[in-house]
Amino acid sequence: MQDTANSVFTDTIKCPEGSVPSDPAGNGRPNHDASDPVFHDRQFDAVITNGWGRIGYNIVRSLGRKGLTVALGTDEFLSMALLSRYTAASFRHPSFFRDTSGFIARLKSAFRRFAPRVYLPSEQEVFVVAKFMDEFSDLGVKIPLAPFSTLRMLHKKDALAQMAASVEVPVPETLVPANLTEARLFAREIGDPVVVKRLSSSSGRGVHYFTQQELASAEDSCTLCGLPYGEFLVQRYVRGVGYGVSMLFHQGELRAKFTHKRLRERVASGGISTWRVSLRNPLLEEYAERILRHAGFHGVAMVEFKYDESNKKGWLLEVNPRFWGSLALAIHSGVDFPYLLYKMALDGDVEPVLDYQTNLQGRWIMGDAFTVLGRFGRNGQAGLAPVQKPAACVYDDLDWRDPAPFAGQFAFSAWKFFRTLRSNPAEADIVLDHL
């Protein structure tokens, strides 16, 4: 691949107090363009990409609070982390989703310019980076990711279900139907409702629910819900509460873990959480560790479950082999996954972090506000159960020591909504088989 993207975007260096080392002359020179030769001898601690939302922001904030210099990449003109006092430099890159080769080329250019010790992709670009890892082999940056084949196996729901069954981790009964007849027969055997999910998806995207009657009346064509047969699965619907078990692994061995329970979700049927609480669940933690150890995983991941609290039964739903939306709660609870991952990449390994504060609640203020407004009933009552706010609550998107990103996310989300008419500003899910 040629470095074709270098001339398209402009880099910016900003120097919040204490975040960027002084130049060789001893001057702290703010608002430099990154092409200024004074910065070519700098070695930044980390580069972060796709930093438009709260995941990228919490990674930057985690590293910045440790005194590390962070260069942020984004494909948007406005983003949360771009406005953060903890971002020492920024650069624009193409969308990894729409322009994979341009994204890789621009990332290589950023590595040459900022000379980072470690690169931490924040979201779905992990798949692109892992797929083209050889492109970065001579650039001297450490990238703590599992091989693409491992990420693909964990992310694709049909492959994950097969692997889970092989290590005796419960999953709902699952079928990848070849046609509508097979889907109808499966629903008749399992019972109402059944869940239709894209094989490659996350955050509740590409999820639909059907009864037998709805499948019986569905048009017999080559797709269901616009999804071609062979690109989705049908699964038994299991009732329970959403749990997430987040883990850091070093070459197949556990180094850190954290569990949260979802108190409120962006969509009532499941997906992104807007309010959650830290706790322990030994059963689900053991399931998550079993899956990731069997995969020989390396890096961070969040494993999602449904858990029947009455019968103490859990079912694996999916694995996100990357950072996740509720990351801030883990950090505030004492498991600083971004910094641990950075140190593991830099030093080769880290000491295990297995204890953390429980009963701490975390809230995504903007997402939760939109959730409440979106479910407000016609009778003037909110269509969701209230959450009792505890004495201690932390936030994904609000930090009084760094307030600008909070305002920026509202501006960015509003701009995205009016441009796309979608409340979720994220790109659609990447299709791994098309990389």
pLDDT tens digit sequence for 65-78: 999 999 999 998 78
Q: How far is CA 402 from CA 84, 342, 405, in A?
A: 6, 22, 7
As a whole number, mean pLDDT of residues 200-222 equals: 83
**What's the confidence (pLDDT) of residue 6?**
37
Angle at 326 between CA 325 and CA 329, to 5 degrees: 150
Residue 170 near residue 236, CB atoms below 8 Å = no
DSSP label of 3: -
User: What is the CB neighbour count within 10 angstroms for residue 391?
Assistant: 6
Lowest mean pLDDT among 155-159, 186-190, 401-405, 428-432: 428-432
**What's the confidence (pLDDT) of residue 320?**
95
Q: How far is CA 112 from CA 88, 91, 132, 340, in A?
A: 16, 13, 17, 25
Structure tokens at 330: 């883990």
Query: Chain centroid to CA 149: how far?
Result: 18
Asked whether the predicted pLDDT for residue 427 surpasses 80, the reply is: no
Residue 57 near residue 70, CB atoms below 8 Å = no
Higher-pLDDT residue of 22 and 320 is 320
Higher-pLDDT residue of 219 and 416 is 219
pLDDT tens digit sequence for 226-270: 889 999 999 999 999 999 999 999 999 999 999 999 999 877 666
Contacts within 8 Å (CB) and 24+ apart, 146-153 = 146/295, 146/296, 146/297, 146/298, 146/299, 146/321, 150/295, 150/296, 150/297, 150/298, 150/321, 151/126, 151/127, 151/321, 152/127, 152/432, 153/295
Asked whether the predicted pLDDT for residue 133 surpasses 80, the reply is: yes
As a whole number, mean pLDDT of residues 340-354 equals: 98
**What's the confidence (pLDDT) of residue 319?**
96
User: What is the CB neighbour count within 10 angstroms for residue 294?
Assistant: 14
Residue 7 near residue 113, CB atoms below 8 Å = no
pTM of the full structure: 0.88
**What's the confidence (pLDDT) of residue 63?**
98
Asked whether the predicted pLDDT for residue 38 surpasses 50, the reply is: no
Asked whether the predicted pLDDT for residue 16 surpasses 50, the reply is: no
Q: What phi and psi, each to the nearest 5 degrees, are found at residue 178?
A: -90, -15
In sequence order, the β-bridge partners of residue 340 are none
Pairing relation of β-strands 273-279 and 361-363? antiparallel
Q: What phi and psi, each to the nearest 5 degrees, are found at residue 5?
A: -85, -5
Dihedral sign for Cα 289, 292, 298, 302, please.
negative
**What's the confidence (pLDDT) of residue 42?**
72
Please tell me the distance from the alpha carbon of residue 22 to that of residue 41, in angstroms, as a whole number.
11
Lowest mean pLDDT among 100-109, 118-127, 334-343, 415-424: 415-424
Higher-pLDDT residue of 431 and 58 is 58
**What's the confidence (pLDDT) of residue 386?**
62
- Strand, helix or coil at 194? strand
Asked whether the predicted pLDDT for residue 202 surpasses 60, the reply is: yes
Structure tokens at 116: 């980072």
> Which domains, and CATH codes, for the chain?
12-143 (3.40.50.720), 173-236 (3.30.1490.20), 241-402 (3.30.470.20)
- What does pLDDT average to over the chain? 86
As a whole number, mean pLDDT of residues 143-157 equals: 97
As a whole number, mean pLDDT of residues 117-121 equals: 98
